[in-house]
Chain A
Amino acid sequence: MENTTLLEMRSIDKSFPGVHALQNVDFTLRSGEIHALMGENGAGKSTLIKVLTGVYSKDQGVINLDGRFDVKIHSPQDAQNLGISTVYQEITLCPNLTVAENMYIGRGKKPITNWRKMNSDADKILRKLDIPARATQQLGTCSIAVQQMVAIARAVDMDCKVLILDEPTSSLDEQEVEKLFGLMRDLKATGVGIIFVTHFLDQVYEVCDRITVLRDGQLVGEYEIKDLPRVQLVSKMLGKEMDDLSDIKSDQDAYLGEDADEPVYEATQLWSDAGIKPFDFHIRKGEVNGFTGLLGSGRSESVRAIFGADRVLGGIVRMHGRQVHIRGPKDAMKNGIAYLPEDRKIDGIIGDLSVRENIILALQVMKGFFKPFTKAQAYAFADEYIKKLNIKTASADTPVKSLSGGNQQKVILARWLLMHPEYLILDEPTRGIDVGTKIDIQKLVLELAKDGMSITFISSETDEMLRTCSRLIVMRDRKVVGELSGEDLTQSMIMSTIAGGE
């Protein structure tokens, strides 16, 4: 079964107005392999996937599938009929339908649906794949992770030959990722070819057999996983030898001001209506700390409580030792707290507004309803931060939704930095963005801290947190269960604290 070519894409070319997105790209997928497609944002991964799934039509090139020469894929429906299924990063199912309906929607050829059979079929698959959901449950009531798995279950059940997973793990916690990998290995054993797009290097090395690297719309090469060490993979993606990932902390000095021990923010028994248990927390000037824990452990809810994003139900909050009342985001902003939310699409960007308007928004709100910035001021602010953070945008007037994920994140970061906060909360600032930007953001965090800003940094990639944070608050089941600093800051200590093994 190994080594029979399942899918061949040859000399694929695709241009958009002003961008040559794919230039002469080859891609080969064998049956029974998990093939990682790697590259920075804008490297052409998504375009290649979209050409394969019929979302875009290719300008030139040939696609051979399963022994058939030059198959025509003009629409996602075509792709589906050919056995190419895709699970996207964003859930594309309907949250207000049931799990079973989502799995079978748009597939039946018969005009009449046998609901009972559909539900029992769905339950069977869910049980087989060990997905904790019931067929008749409304999809919206499941966690994001389960929704993701339902999407995969749908694809699996459609007898696909090629399964494309586009960043499926970005919203899953480790256990769920493990479960997903188990599922992928099972599928691989049955001969399905899996294309796996992800930004998580660890995961690539854990589950994949082969890697294809793209850069700037061109093919860099295809490699066996054992022939390509991590550092080389990263340098191939970036197109340059890069300073070792793990070194960014050591070449930064900590903040050394006289007031370095002064707590900037202090909370006692703070809790909100998002279901977290009351917790104590403080952060000193120039300190970088973080909340860690599995997805759903309450780390995001904790920082949301600090910012007043959820309804705060109790607790005493002090800034510089003085008691303050933070009832909503505006109170927090007035006290110099900024918060970059976890989900930038839902909570972060204002999609149709321009980059400029998105950048000035928070500062503008602080300044007041009756004191709008002049156009010139707004442009000056926007241009300053576009340059400072190296935001890739056509102009300050471009709608922010047309930027790539990493650049959108930088725009939101710019929005908060423009406010010159004392205390900056970053919830998953590096999720779903390319390696280069990830490193930029981590470096920036350390630089800001060096200048005296207090920062709480949350990331689901533990090594990122180890690299940036000097103190970690560990959460489990919506409770703070431990605090690690100094020599305890190791991967294994975090794991054991999260797991609860004393």
Chain B
Amino acid sequence: MNKSLLKKITSNQLFIPLLALFLLAIINLIVDPSFFKVTLGTNNEGNPVLSGYLITILDYGSELAILAIGMTLVTSASGGQDISVGATIAITGSAMLRVLCGSNTRPEQLAAPIIVAFLVACIVGMLCGAFNGALVSIFKIQPMIATLILFTAGRSIAAWINNNELPIVPDPKFKYFGGFIPGIPIPTTVFIVIICVIVTALILKFTNLGLYTQSVGINEKSSRLNGINPTMIKMLAFIFLGLCVAVASLIKVSRLATINYSVIAKDIEMDAILAVALGGNSLSGGKFNIWASVLGAYIIQFLTTTLYKFNVQSDALAAYKAVVVILLVVFSAPKVRESLSRLKTKKALKAVNKGETK
């Protein structure tokens, strides 16, 4: 009874990411328990804010967590990944600034309400997603190649939208999205992630998006013969990711109140893909677990923050990260998991045999 429960837990897709998170926490706890200290202080505007490493992780892991949601769907439906999300964040962010600031790069006041700018960014993000989706689903181009186009061109397009200027948003309210709302000590990004997660959960519950996406990812031909339109489903997945990109760009741009076209969200696509993989999802498509991917995103951020705390130089950060990632990915690979569980049953059998001979 106990054994089967243990097996059920260890074979769960969330087991490895949770274990990784747990180990990271343990290491930090041993080395320096103050890692977990959360203090309530005030920021330089005099508002109450929570601070501490855990808060940093929650705050700065937000963009990645949101992107991981969309990336999981794209991976499942198309069996490939979108490598253009970083560049698309630059585009949507730039579009947002363009709407907020108009043609003036140092406006005294907003040219349009923030909500309008955000909606425009969403539409732009969805258009970018639709572009990628059309290349993948209609023209049957491999996702990585299809999204290479925006990956390459995206940051130039972003710069072109604002005539290569760097507009600065004057309204302090805009900074709330990537910072704190006065009076609320929890980072706003945490709420944004929670909203995204709830919306996604509702979509998965009240539509067949999950079933159709997995069907298409596993067997496109037979999905079609069951009346599912695979082209549509793949388009939907990419458009959904476009929406996630728009939300992530809101956070990214809001943090600075401006944009740096060549640096903003750089290499975030690789982390997003990694989050999907760390969650134990197959990168060749099919079955997926979105929450595992979200967890994967926070593991990456946890790792980054831990390494920063150990004063690892930012140049060397990537190398350390790579080592941990290799371990995680190898351990969550189905093949390794299989042989591990076989080892376990062998041991158990031996134990049983020993008991019998006694």
Is B103 an interface position by the 8 A CB rule?
no
Chain A residues closer than 8 Å to B214, beta-carbon distance: 350, 352-353
Chain B residues closer than 8 Å to A362, beta-carbon distance: 226-227
Q: B208 and A350: CB pair below 8 A?
A: no
Chain A residues closer than 8 Å to B139, beta-carbon distance: none
Chain B residues closer than 8 Å to A349, beta-carbon distance: 219, 222
Name the one of B207, B223, B287 contacting A352, with C-beta atoms under 8 angstroms.
B287
Chain A residues closer than 8 Å to B222, beta-carbon distance: 341, 346-350
Query: Considering the chains assembled together, what is the distance between the CA atoms of A369 and B236 in angstroms?
Result: 12
Q: A369 and B227: CB pair below 8 A?
A: no
Query: Considering the chains assembled together, what is the distance between the CA atoms of A339 and B218 in angstroms?
Result: 20
Query: Considering the chains assembled together, what is the distance between the CA atoms of A307 and B224 in angstroms?
Result: 12
Query: Considering the chains assembled together, what is the distance between the CA atoms of A350 and B217 in angstroms?
Result: 9
Query: Considering the chains assembled together, what is the distance between the CA atoms of A93 and B187 in angstroms?
Result: 57
Size of interface on B: residues with Cβ below 8 Å to A: 23
Shortest Cβ distance from residue B249 to the other chain A in the assembled complex, whole angstroms:
28
Residue of A nearest to B217 (CB): A352
Query: Considering the chains assembled together, what is the distance between the CA atoms of A309 and B227 in angstroms?
Result: 10
Q: B219 and A364: CB pair below 8 A?
A: no
Query: Considering the chains assembled together, what is the distance between the CA atoms of A333 and B225 in angstroms?
Result: 10
Chain A residues 304-361 with CB under 8 Å of chain B are 307, 309, 328-330, 333, 339, 341, 346-353, 357, 361
Query: Considering the chains assembled together, what is the distance between the CA atoms of A366 and B207 in angstroms?
Result: 13
Give the most central of B205, B212, B221, B226: most A CB within 10 Å: B226
Shortest Cβ distance from residue A175 to the other chain B in the assembled complex, whole angstroms:
28
Query: Considering the chains assembled together, what is the distance between the CA atoms of A333 and B219 in angstroms?
Result: 19
Chain A residues 281-318 with CB under 8 Å of chain B are 307, 309
Q: B345 and A17: CB pair below 8 A?
A: yes
Name the one of A17, A329, A347, A348 contacting B227, with C-beta atoms under 8 angstroms.
A329
Is B61 an interface position by the 8 A CB rule?
no
| Contact digits for B185-226, partner A, Cβ 8 Å, 1 yes 0 no | 000000000000000000001111101101100110111111
Given contacts A352-B286, A370-B206, contact A347 B211 (CB under 8 A): no
Name the one of A347, A348, A353 contacting B215, with C-beta atoms under 8 angstroms.
A353
Q: B206 and A333: CB pair below 8 A?
A: no
Is B228 an interface position by the 8 A CB rule?
yes
Q: A357 and B221: CB pair below 8 A?
A: no
Chain B residues closer than 8 Å to A307, beta-carbon distance: 225
Query: Considering the chains assembled together, what is the distance between the CA atoms of A361 and B211 in angstroms?
Result: 8
Chain B residues closer than 8 Å to A361, beta-carbon distance: 211, 215, 226
Is A231 an interface position by the 8 A CB rule?
no
Is A372 an interface position by the 8 A CB rule?
yes
Query: Considering the chains assembled together, what is the distance between the CA atoms of A348 and B219 in angstroms?
Result: 9
Q: A309 and B215: CB pair below 8 A?
A: no
Is A365 an interface position by the 8 A CB rule?
yes
Q: B225 and A309: CB pair below 8 A?
A: yes
Query: Considering the chains assembled together, what is the distance between the CA atoms of A350 and B76 in angstroms?
Result: 14
Chain B residues closer than 8 Å to A364, beta-carbon distance: 208, 211
Q: A350 and B225: CB pair below 8 A?
A: no
Shortest Cβ distance from residue B52 to the other chain A in the assembled complex, whole angstroms:
40
Q: B227 and A330: CB pair below 8 A?
A: yes
Given contacts A17-B345, A352-B286, contact A341 B225 (CB under 8 A): yes
Query: Considering the chains assembled together, what is the distance between the CA atoms of A362 and B223 in angstroms?
Result: 9
Chain B residues closer than 8 Å to A372, beta-carbon distance: 205-208, 211
Q: A366 and B221: CB pair below 8 A?
A: no
Query: Considering the chains assembled together, what is the distance between the CA atoms of A371 and B219 in angstroms?
Result: 22
Chain A residues closer than 8 Å to B209, beta-carbon distance: 369
Chain B residues closer than 8 Å to A357, beta-carbon distance: 211, 215
Query: Considering the chains assembled together, what is the distance between the CA atoms of A330 and B226 in angstroms?
Result: 7
Chain A residues 392-408 with CB under 8 Å of chain B are none
Give the most central of A346, A350, A352, A362: most B CB within 10 Å: A350
Shortest Cβ distance from residue A338 to the other chain B in the assembled complex, whole angstroms:
10
Closest 4 CB pairs of A and B: A330-B227, A365-B227, A350-B219, A352-B218
**Contacts A350-B215, A372-B208 known; 8 new A-B pairs at CB < 8 A:** A346-B219, A346-B222, A350-B222, A353-B218, A357-B211, A368-B208, A372-B205, A372-B211
Q: Would you mind naming 15 contact pairs between A and B with Cβ atoms under 8 Å apart?
A: A329-B224, A346-B219, A347-B221, A347-B222, A350-B214, A350-B215, A350-B223, A353-B211, A353-B214, A353-B215, A353-B218, A369-B209, A370-B208, A371-B208, A372-B211
